[in-house]
Amino acid sequence: MYTLEQLRMLVDVADTGSFSACARKLGKAQSAVSQGIANLEVDLDLQLFDRSTRIPTLTPDGHRILDMARAVLVQATQLDIGARSIHKGDEAHIRLVVDDALLLPQLGNTLDRFGKAYPATRLELVTSASPDVAEMIAKGQADLGIFFTPIAFDDSTDVCFIGNLPFVAVCHPSHPLAKRTEIAAHDLFQHRQLLIRGLQGQAVEMLNLVSAQAWWTNSFQGLLHMCQQGLGWTYLPDHMAAPLIAAGQLHQMQVSFDHKPWSPPVELVYRKHKVMGPALSWLKEELKTLL
Amino acid sequence: MYTLEQLRMLVDVADTGSFSACARKLGKAQSAVSQGIANLEVDLDLQLFDRSTRIPTLTPDGHRILDMARAVLVQATQLDIGARSIHKGDEAHIRLVVDDALLLPQLGNTLDRFGKAYPATRLELVTSASPDVAEMIAKGQADLGIFFTPIAFDDSTDVCFIGNLPFVAVCHPSHPLAKRTEIAAHDLFQHRQLLIRGLQGQAVEMLNLVSAQAWWTNSFQGLLHMCQQGLGWTYLPDHMAAPLIAAGQLHQMQVSFDHKPWSPPVELVYRKHKVMGPALSWLKEELKTLL
DNA sequence: CACCTTTCATAAGCAAAACAGATGGTATCT
DNA sequence: AGATACCATCTGTTTTGCTTATGAAAGGTG
């Protein structure tokens, strides 16, 4: 049966075009490579190299085997990296919960870099409403959360301010409020507002009730859907609303009583006194610069 | 450095839950497995199994390594399969050209089975207009073709009838012809027809000009696009048109002068006297039952 | 054209690794 | 308590992979 070392020889000879060069690179005698390749050829019952030319060239069969050998070695390298990662103490698994309004493009970027830095750590990304994010962290169901404060949460968690996310007030273009150029508080009051709250009914104080009538959902995606169906007006994060406003699918309302941009605070949350491994610490520090 | 054999032991012990069972399975002494795992643990500097229990159980670290070991062995198995495949004489590469109207669901099915039967043979699927299919085969730029006959082609190729593909006449729902319930030849004559021809201008005799005016494209996808833009009427294969007709995005025309379903012949094409390896022969035979 | 260098294959000897077999300790089941 | 199945460890043997040495063939160079 062939060995991993023989496969390494194969790719190395193919890359360098020389048995001797391969031997030098792997720190072995030239004859070791010669025998290694020969044994591999016997094992596979295929001729991999044509030795009649000046430099050994891959046969067509050899070329096909080479591709497969590379695939084996890639996995073996992954195993090595994984073993080193375990040895460093990297966590096996991290669960990150974010409010779905915070699924920003930058987040994908951060997670991408995370994957490169901690290849053996599996990441689970969960989305829920901010109050539920807090609850999952408090119950230890997730390691790290990103959510909107202030919300009610107990003292088993620590939070860390990381920035503000701008919101805009929107409604469907056919909504009565879309016809108004200047909107006062009592105008909003007369129309149904769409709001977020957690599964247990906990609301985010900052995103609170303005209207007399309200419908609820537990995700911004749900909010967006209802708003696009013309069921009411709502506040949406700018990054979600902007492309739809530009495409004419949503109407941005000019609200006179808060003409300054309205940006609720975003915070990281994690269990107090939790011992964090390298991967979790890295992710926490990186997420502080998300906004 | 660890070996493939040690990785096999790891997964086998994890699967059977026993060093002894693994030894029996691999045809070795129990002590060999015991030492093999021990060596692997030394190499990775990780404890993989907890031996304090009745049956050896994977440690959390062991579990993570196990997943990676499996990945390595999957690739190694692929290499074995590939080597056997090469040994059988399977081709390294097959290029199949089909008229894009013949991208049937069944074709995907056939190719899927091909992949399972000939895992080491790479398949390239090219689409072009029927006249170009014939030309590619004649020039030896592809191994096997499926296209509509009759078209002009030289005697360097063989063809083999495999069935008929039903066509329907369609136009955009807002097209003038969509309002007519019964359409005669001279009605069609007055409206622009959308037609297929190859890059060198070769048309398929069967799919020929009926109207006074015609626009051309070299793919049925192009035909469909132009038709959906309301640029004219055309014949489309039933399987492409049916879902769009059902969705109201296309209108099926009732043409009085050919009320029998109109189904041009479909044929396989390949170079005369070409020596076919097992994979190509298999594919040729399977494609004969495509329709 | 002779000479030199580089390349690979092969043979022989050696050291390390893998292995089978035997032994002993331990947990589980009857 | 006895039987059984399991694993670790030890010992001696076999196998494998390696190095060194040598020869043949192919380019390159004066």
Proportion of chain B above pLDDT 90, given as a percent: 62
A4–B83 C-beta distance less than 8 A: no
pLDDT tens-digit series, residues A209-264: 666 677 888 889 898 999 998 888 899 999 999 999 998 899 998 877 665 667 88
Q: Is the CB of A25 under 7 A from strand D?
A: no
Determine whether the distance from the CB of A131 to the nearest atom of strand C is below 7 Å.
no
Taking residues A18-34, what's their average pLDDT? 95
| Distance of alpha carbon B145 from alpha carbon B198, whole angstroms | 15
- Residue in B11, B28, B44, B121 to test binding to A, most A beta-carbons within 10 Å: B44
Are A46 and B78 inside 8 Å of each other by CB?
A: no
3 state SS for chain B: CCCHHHHHHHHHHHHHCCHHHHHHHHCCCHHHHHHHHHHHHHHHCCCCEECCCCCCEECHHHHHHHHHHHHHHHHHHHHHHHHHHHHHCCCCEEEEEEEHHHCCHHHHHHHHHHHHHCCCCEEEEEEECHHHHHHHHHCCCCCEEEEECCCCCCCCEEEEEEEECCEEEEECCCCHHHHCCCECHHHHCCCCEEEEECCCCCECHHHCCCCCCEEEECCHHHHHHHHHCCCCEEEEEHHHHHHHHHCCCCEECCEHHHCCCECCEEEEEEECCCCCCHHHHHHHHHHCCCC
- Comparing A203-212, B24-33, B154-163, B188-197, the range with the smallest average pLDDT is A203-212
Band of residue B95 on the pLDDT scale cut at 50, 70, 90: very high
Average pLDDT over chain B reads 89
Instruction: Identify the closest residue of chain A to B91 by CA–CA distance.
Output: A61
Q: Out of A88, A107, A122, pick the residue that ends a domain.
A: A88
B171 and B253 share one domain: yes
pLDDT at B230 (0 to 100): 85
Q: How far is A48 from chain B (nearest CA, A)?
A: 11
Domain check: are B131 and B171 in the same one? no
Q: Which residue's CA shows the smallest distance to C1' of D27?
A: A54
Output the six-digit token pair for A200: 């247990």
**pLDDT per position as a tens digit, B174-210:** 888 888 777 777 777 788 889 888 877 777 766 666 6
Interface contacts (A, B; CB < 8 Å): 73
Does the structure show a pLDDT above 90 at A29? yes
Task: Using CB atoms, pick whichever of B5, B68, B79 lies closest to residue A82.
Answer: B68
Q: How many domains does chain A have?
A: 3
Q: Is the CB of B93 under 7 A from strand D?
A: no
Distance from CA of B250 to the nearest CA of A (A): 26
Chain A nearest-CA residue for B66: A79
Taking the CA of residue B3 and the C1' sugar atom of nucleotide C20, their distance in angstroms comes to: 20
Is the CB of residue B68 less than 8 Å away from at least one CB of chain A? yes
Q: Which nucleotide, over all strands, has the C1' atom closest to the CA of A49?
A: C8
Question: Are B13 and B146 members of one domain?
Answer: no
Over the stretch A61-102, which tens digit does the pLDDT of each residue have? 999 999 999 999 999 999 999 999 999 999 999 999 999 999
Mark the nucleotides of strand D covered by protein, meaning any atom under 7 Å from a CB: 5-11, 17-21, 26-27
CATH code: domain of residue B14 = 1.10.10.10
Asked whether residue A42 falls in the same domain as residue A183, the answer is no
Q: Are residues B252 and B215 in the same domain?
A: yes
Q: Are residues A157 and A172 in the same domain?
A: no
CATH code, domain with A215 = 3.40.190.290
Domain with residue B270: its CATH number is 3.40.190.10
B132 and B275 in a single domain? The answer is yes
Q: Are residues B253 and B171 in the same domain?
A: yes
Residue A175 scores a pLDDT above 90: no
Tell me, what's the pLDDT at A259? 58
State whether residue A64 sits within 8 Å of chain B by CB: yes
Task: Judge if the upstream peptide bond of residue A150 is cis by omega within 30 degrees of 0.
Answer: yes
Residue of A4, A9, A46, A90 to mutate for B, most B C-beta atoms under 10 A: A4
Residues in B touching A88 (Cβ below 8 Å)? none
| Among A4, A63, A86, beta carbon nearest to B3 | A4
Task: Choose the final residue of a domain: B73, B88, B103.
Answer: B88
Residues B30 and B71 in one domain: yes
Say which DSSP state A261 is in. P
| Residue B197 and residue B130 share a domain | no
Query: Hey, is the C-beta of B60 within 8 angstroms of any chain A C-beta?
Result: yes
- Which residues 152-171 in chain A show a CB within 8 A of chain B? none
Residues B78 and B115 grouped into a single domain: no
Query: Least CB-CB distance to B46: which of A1, A74, A83?
Result: A83
Residue B254 C-alpha, separation from nearest chain A C-alpha, in angstroms: 39
Range of the domain at B129: 93-163+265-287
DSSP annotation of A76 reads: H
Do B225 and B250 belong together in one domain? yes
Q: Which residues of B touch A87 (CB under 8 A)?
A: 45-46
Domain finish residue from A45, A67, A88: A88
